[in-house]
Amino acid sequence: MIHCHVTAKPNGNSFLCTFIYGYSDKKGRELLWQELCTLANFVSLAWVIMGDFNVLMAIEDRIGSAIRLAEIQPMRSCTASCQLNEVKIVGSHFTWNKKQDGPARVFTRIDRVLANSQWEDTFPTTEVAYLLEEEFDHFPMVMSCYKTVQQKKPFRVLQRLKWIKAYLKLLNKAGFRTVEATDIKTHSELLMAQNALHANPGDIHLAYVEKEANEAYHLAHQNYLSYLHQLAKLKWLEFGD
C-alpha cells in the first residue's frame, strides 16, 4: 500500500490517494483491512483508494466459478467501516481475465476505485473507465474528473475500432509494409474479439475466438518487433553511430 498527499497545481486543491496491491492470501488481506480502517480514522480530506485488491466485493464479481459470501464479507465490512463508496465505472464490469481455454475461463472484478464522501463532494463527476486488456490479464484503468457536470461520452470501443479500420485502408493504399499492416490488423481483430467476449463473457465460442486472436496478434507483434530490430541494425550499419 502506498499512501500519498496530493496538491493540484492549477487550483491548490489537496486530497489523499492510496494505491493498493492486495495480498493473494486471506491473512495478508486482513492486515490491509486493518491498515485502511486505521487510516480512515485520521482522514479529513477528500480520499480516493485504487488498485488490485485481489478479492471480490459482490456476488456478481466473478463468472466461471461460484462465489461464497465469506469471500466478499471482509472487503464489504472494511468499506462500510471506512465509509467508502465505489466510484462510477464505464466500460467493462470485470477487471481480470485468467485467459483459460473454453469453459474454464474466469472473469473477475478484483480492481476497484473507492472514495469517501469528501471526494464525492469535491470531485462529483469522477468516473473510471476499464479498457480492454489486450495481451494482459488485468484491464487498464483510467480515472477522469470533469470540471463541470455535463453529459459525458462513455468509452466507445467500437468507435476506436472504426478508426483502426480506416487507418488500415490508408496503409493499404500507401503500400505500407506488410509486417506492420499485419500487426495493426491483428491488433484490431483482438480488440473486436475482446469487445464481443466482454459483452457475453459466458460464451465459450467467443472465448476461443478471443484466444486465437490473442495468439495471432502476439505472433504478428513479435514479427513486427523483430523487423524493427533488423531495420535499426541495417540503419546503424549504413550510417554508423
25 within 8 A of 54, measured Cβ to Cβ: no
Cell numbers for 64: 466461471
Taking the C-alpha atoms of residue 164 and residue 162, their distance in angstroms, rounded to an integer, is 5
pLDDT of residue 45: 93
Res. 174: pLDDT tops 70 = no
More confident residue, 139 or 149: 139
pLDDT in tens, 80-137: 999 999 998 877 777 777 766 656 667 788 889 999 999 999 888 898 887 776 666 6
Taking the C-alpha atoms of residue 160 and residue 42, their distance in angstroms, rounded to an integer, is 43
Q: Sign (positive/negative) of CA torsion 73, 74, 79, 82?
A: positive
- Boundaries of every domain in the chain: 2-144, 157-239
- What's the CA angle centered on 11, arms 47 and 150, to 5 degrees? 75
Helices (H), the chain: 26-40, 69-82, 117-122, 157-173, 178-199, 204-239
pLDDT of residue 187: 79
Look at the chain and count its residues: 241
Taking the C-alpha atoms of residue 238 and residue 233, their distance in angstroms, rounded to an integer, is 9
Taking the C-alpha atoms of residue 45 and residue 16, their distance in angstroms, rounded to an integer, is 7
Taking the C-alpha atoms of residue 241 and residue 234, their distance in angstroms, rounded to an integer, is 12
pLDDT of residue 155: 47
Q: 68: exposed, middle or buried (C-beta count within 10 Å: 0-12, 13-18, 19+)? A: exposed
Taking the C-alpha atoms of residue 186 and residue 112, their distance in angstroms, rounded to an integer, is 30
pLDDT of residue 101: 64
Number of Cβ within a 10 Å radius of residue 235: 10
User: Domain 2-144 belongs to what topology?
Assistant: Deoxyribonuclease I; Chain A (3.60.10)
Model's pTM, two decimal places?
0.62
84 within 8 A of 114, measured Cβ to Cβ: yes
